[in-house]
Structure 1
């Protein structure tokens, strides 16, 4: 694990952090560099740092110091003069991290690698945070729209260091606002802490980590009672099954992989799925695209032979849960507890 970003936490916070990193998943296994994206190393605030007092989730006061210098995942030293109020995300990936910290970004890019987009209001993951909220849509995350970013008038711009094409527009972005590139390969805990250090909400981040890890532990306990039930997690390109359940994902929740399930993300055929014959088949993808794919399989005798199909154990999870971020991990844990108590 790499060192945290710029702001140096107290000894007490650091000890909590060490405890909090036990249930993470490594994102670098989950998503390609084009679709999504070190915990960043921190420098101490200057002696003249401004103190900003805020209330954390427990009602206790925490002091955030400004200005602060952040060394991001690409090695850039980024100075934030004050707590950012207008935040622009060049990908939706960090949207849930900000929501978890009680912050709504000004703008974000939407869309995924397969070109499908659904509204945040229809997302099971994001809908609870969208009441009365307006987030400017910057368009596709696959191509940075500099004019839209400028229009969003950000105090800070955030994305991951492996965001496709970011190198070509980085200098232009820095003319608009400070740009911070985070490390997509970090655990969700460390990425949440990285985001919290940008907005001065480290204490809130630790509270969220504790809550999510507790929910994950509860789900693991429930799942452990049914180790004979294999679980297959897929996306789809409309033609085949894309395996997206990484080894760390299965390990985190204590899930049983079907025999022959790939170790890394790859597209497999219906016949390969039939050989696995999973107890549960879960599509974590755009709902409209996935249901259309499943409907196209209904006339297939191979599909109809699957135990999960015959016993109505085909499930659809929100595609935004593929981030495996803090809110996604919590929602996954909750849905697994529901799934593993249905029968």
Structure 2
């Protein structure tokens, strides 16, 4: 049976198809597969204090949490103010931009500069956690959120949660998923490269001293032990997350005879004039230590030194790179 259409009917079909195509374009995901903004212009997220409505793609953003700087930079999110005093040279997109107001550091923050920027969204927390109430009070026109990793929670689940929240706010959900998937892959690969028996010591170096970082709770490196199944060379009861590491003697570290040492060089993130007196590069400090010279990790060259900016970032990108670095070192051993 042959179906015949009149010219007018065909035009009607074409017109309808065009309308449908336009509608599909307006409702489809932007490039990269990210979901469109809610019609209301806000999205409800759960931050560290509870549910809060946040503007989608806010034009004026202040970011204070160092965990978010790299993600916002990758997504080309402009900032009106940021704490350049604690960003080092890791985030030139913001620190070199004169249009981004410097609010200093968390120790002496210029909170009035935030007020003057008249932001729609303030991403606070972490080092600026103590200023949360004051920032909210001073900026009633803005939505203030804290989404940094919470104490007592799994660090890597928290970092992925942070990505997901940022993805919802900035229409970058597909990109957020890529960040999270990359972290999961790097973590799994590092675990797969570990032989399951070599003992591992995590240390922090600062002001020419080597400090012990406790598995699980220690600052920066403590959280990597459990997901990688690393066998600690030394476990101390009552260890802390002190940013300089616990005050355990180098001799005690040496006595534990670690087969691997992973070192966070805290001073490396700062310019030479801002470093503490006696500061030396972590690799030099460890390899030249008289107490550590006969430790297997040093003798076999099994010393992994973190990216110089690790202490300033501690974000999902930095941990992903760390796991990739650990995988490479383990695989090459």
Q: What is the distance in 2 between the residues matched to 1:204 and 1:244?
A: 33
Structure-2 residue corresponding to 1:7 = none
The within-5 A match list for 1:215-254 is 215-223=186-194, 226-238=195-207, 239-243=209-213, 245-246=215-216, 248-254=223-229
1:214 alignment partner, one of 166, 181, 185: 185
Displacement of 1:207 in angstroms is 2.9
Q: What is the distance in 2 between the residues matched to 1:168 and 1:61?
A: 33
Tell me the matched-pair count: 277
Distance 1:235 1:100, change over 3 A: farther
Indicate if the aligned counterparts of 1:260 and 1:276 stay in contact, CA closer than 8 A.
Answer: no
Structure-1 residue corresponding to 2:22 = none
Displacement of 1:52 in angstroms is 8.4
Q: What is the distance in 2 between the residues matched to 1:215 and 1:297?
A: 27
Indicate if the aligned counterparts of 1:72 and 1:78 stay in contact, CA closer than 8 A.
Answer: no
Displacement of 1:214 in angstroms is 1.9
Render the CA deviation track for 1:166-224: whole Å, top value 9, x for unaligned. Answer: 1452234424632112252252111211222222322322232223212221221112x
2:57 alignment partner, one of 76, 83, 97: 83
TM-score (ref. length: structure 1):
0.66
Cα root mean square deviation, aligned: 3.5
Gaps of 5+ in 1: 1-50, 122-126
Gaps of 5+ in 2: 1-25, 217-221, 269-274
TM-score (ref. length: structure 2):
0.68
Tell which has more relative contact order, 1 or 2 (C-alpha 8 A, sep 6+): 1
Indicate if the aligned counterparts of 2:67 and 2:314 stay in contact, CA closer than 8 A.
Answer: no
Distance 1:131 1:72, change over 3 A: closer
Structure-2 residue corresponding to 1:146 = 111
Q: What is the distance in 1 between the residues matched to 2:34 and 2:251?
A: 58
